[in-house]
Structure 1
Amino acid sequence: MEIVIGTKRWSSWSLRPWLALKHTGATFTETLVELRHAETSEAELAKHSPTSLVPVVKDGDLVVWDSLAICEYLHETYPEALLWPADPALRAIGRAAAAEMHSGFSALRGECPMELETRKVVDISPATQADVRKIVLRWNQLLERSGGPFLLGKWSIADAFYTPVATRFRTYGIRLSNHGDTGAAEAYCERLLQTPEYLAWKADALA
């Protein structure tokens, strides 16, 4: 299996399925396309992706694009990895939370892009503040229901989808206690950024 990803410092879309694939324990090859080089990036991406976007997973003659679709394919291909929990209720709300991240929180995405090489404190807009409050609420709801330490108990695809969010909170100095958190969401954020898989990604990104 091969995963095609973008620049590790910036590509939040690539980070999600890469984490899921890493959690399967499967052997895979990694192809990196450097982003933000308009001419070369587009040509290189077109070699791998029908959308000229990353991420892409290649498994034999199968090409799967879109980070959520890739994660679902990995769940089905490596069921022993338990990328989604066996409990159908937890699995359903986990998928809902991942889909919410996949399609929502546009203010946070636009104002606070993933930049692992950066640390600064910014004043975020009211729209981004509303996104942060909603994320804090969702994290607390899921952690309370599952008992933690991750959103659905054990690490899952839902956590893969929110790991880039955790990097944004750290990069831009966003204190979750200013947005309704009483400690659980902040602790969860820190757990995401201390998993061996994320630390491996970060080490490569900043090397």
Structure 2
Amino acid sequence: MSRWILGVTGGIGSGKTAVTDHFQRLGIVVVDADLAARKVVEPGQPALAAIAAHFGDRVLDADGRLLRPVLREIVFSDPAQRKALEAITHPAIRETLERELTAADSPYAILASPLLWESGQSALVRRTLLVDAPEHLQIARASARDGVSPGQIEAILKAQWSREQRLARADDVLLNDGTLAALQAGVERLHAGYLQEAST
């Protein structure tokens, strides 16, 4: 892929969606890794057939759809099973992302991925933008949004890269600890720079 691609990432509750929504309002195509991950396991997709072949019919409902909670329980209790699942899904996800990014018709495109570095998807992008927020804000936002206990949010945070690891790897950082208007102004400032960089 020769197009100029920005990778946008951030921990749970950091405000990634608010940021990518504003980039979209500015005319930039956003390709979402989470949506790609859902698409590749829809009925009729080769990845779903491979998952059923490996894990058995217990991971499918009566309509042949993936039972995510059942699969999640299996893979999070056994690292070898998680690796087996990733070996099935990661190539399919990457292929979907590459296809959608190549088809993007904006001056540059965005790959939004919560696990940009951990998944190796950062290899697809020219520059990375971290949406950053203090941990107490992440926990408060995510538990209010998802109706999940702060304890569960903390467990998710521990499973992801630390804030320090992300800050050390990011090319650009957008701190989201204020108002939505301030966040959107930050997006617009970065967007002007990215337009310039993508056109050279």
Radius of gyration: which is bigger?
2
TM-score (norm 2): 0.27
TM-score (norm 1): 0.26
